[in-house]
Structure 1
């Protein structure tokens, strides 16, 4: 895979070098040129690497993941939902490495005085990528609730509910890892307020995702409860019909045997009497069910 040098930008006091889709040979050259650790280079190439922070004598190494999928795609893994950016930075330069293009990396017209300023700006953009899927998940939860409780629950796909719950759970874990790494980052006094703002945003997102996850669990339980209730209603209806027709079938079965010594067969009003008995039995069963509040 050939690499595409996405951006080389010179600021007043530092340089930013951004690599998109670099191959291993290119990264080996970067490691040699800028004296970077080879194992961290390998980490930056690894497709599914989780967020991490490592402090080296000459630079800091940081991996973070931004949300890059959409809820409709039905993604259920970290790799499907997000993509990572690896940062190598010190006071003189910041090197970013990523496989997928990011729009916020391409449109930066702000002048930064320190690498910290640019790094915090990029972290802020990565944190912001989790807000849109949160809104989509919350909206889907409301739609499912309306369908289950106000419309026809059978129109809700159990598979869709599973994807919604799984996406919420994985994204929440990603944010928790993001938060853990952010707490390890050290910045100068002038950037502590900006970093704290990122931490507050992360905490708020985690709490919101936790609420959506709880709603998704409740929704799934409600779906099963409504489904079970519908099944119980059907069984109840069948039981009521059985309770009505079982004694009537018993009476009809006795008088359908046609034995010779059945005097009722020769009665002038035997047929009407039997029908009356069957009607009385049905009425008694009906009022018994009403008294017991079964129907």
Structure 2
């Protein structure tokens, strides 16, 4: 088994039983090498389990880190492992479906192995922030160490949450408008539930990322770049805390409005029943088929009963009005 490093890509040459050589590309890119930088940066995209173990064997990565790296829904963590620091950070996915409500559906994982002279980043999906770091920082010589690279990874990752926060705010405003100004829709509660789940999961991811920020911006390593990252994190945490409270309030208000509307309907039905109860009572009496009922032979019995029913209706209406029930 031989590896060839050319054009920022590795290839695995395997000799088959037939004597032919099979070339399998492994998506491993050398973003920065030790010839031009004081460190080396290796980026691995969508590797198989076997490929990750090959990388682990080559760079001396611990089995426990590899096990965490292979879990697609692993939450953010910062861990010191032997000669390196192992970090799992999650970026907010760019395209999220309306019913996405899990860690895996809302975010993408990136695993980082950090040494003084090397940084290895492993992720399943394409990582657009990589180009931003390379163009804006690496090529301009602003990243002097692997610590600076890590800082930019976390900072550009936090930017993905800021973009999503704007869309979540718009969604909250949409539900507020529909709840207060328009008639209820069948899908309103379902949409509100998924909105709450999105905010809740994203906020939890940010809270768990706090340790990573604390380790990046320490008194020993603090500089302008790391302080900017911390400021961005604090800002996003505040935004998502506010979004979390707003969605909870929306849920509470939705059920309150639903309960109020239900009570209004019951009130109207109760009023109708009160109007018809005495009328039904009168009709029930004269509907009994007894032979000897004195009113049955009265000449003005029918119009008299009708007038009585009208009078009762008017009296009930006046009584309701005086009590402000109408």
Name the TM tier (shorter chain).
over 0.9
Q: Report which of the two has the higher share of strand.
A: 2
Q: Distance in 2 between matches of 1:186 and 1:277?
A: 86
TM-score computed with the length of structure 1 as normaliser: 0.92
**Number of aligned pairs?**
295
* RMSD of equivalent CA atoms: 2.1
Matches within 5 A, 1:97-246: 97-107=122-132, 108-109=134-135, 110=139, 111=141, 112-154=143-185, 156-185=187-216, 191-246=222-277
How far apart are residue 189 of structure 1 and its match?
5.4
Distance 1:286 1:148, change over 3 A: same
How far apart are residue 66 of structure 1 and its match?
0.7
Distance 1:49 1:217, change over 3 A: same
| Aligned residue in 2 for 1:38 | 63
Unaligned runs of 5+ in 1: none
Q: Is the 8 A contact 1:65 1:82 kept in 2?
A: yes
Q: Is the 8 A contact 2:217 2:230 kept in 1?
A: no
2:106 counterpart of 1:75: no
How far apart are residue 188 of structure 1 and its match?
8.2
| Aligned residue in 1 for 2:40 | 15
Identify the structure with bigger relative contact order (alpha carbons < 8 Å, sequence gap 6+).
1
Q: Distance in 2 between matches of 1:232 and 1:57?
A: 65
- Aligned partner of residue 129 in structure 1, secondary structure: helix
How far does the alpha carbon of each residue in 1:144-191 deviate from its partner, in whole angstroms, 9 at most, with x for none?
111111111235521111111111111111001111222123668575
Unaligned runs of 5+ in 2: 1-23
How far does the alpha carbon of each residue in 1:76-98 deviate from its partner, in whole angstroms, 9 at most, with x for none?
11111111111112232211111
Distance 1:177 1:2, change over 3 A: farther
Distance 1:259 1:127, change over 3 A: same
Q: Is the 8 A contact 1:3 1:21 kept in 2?
A: no
TM-score computed with the length of structure 2 as normaliser: 0.84
Q: Distance in 2 between matches of 1:104 and 1:77?
A: 22
- Aligned partner of residue 216 in structure 2, secondary structure: coil
Q: Report which of the two has the higher share of helix.
A: 1
- Aligned partner of residue 207 in structure 1, secondary structure: helix
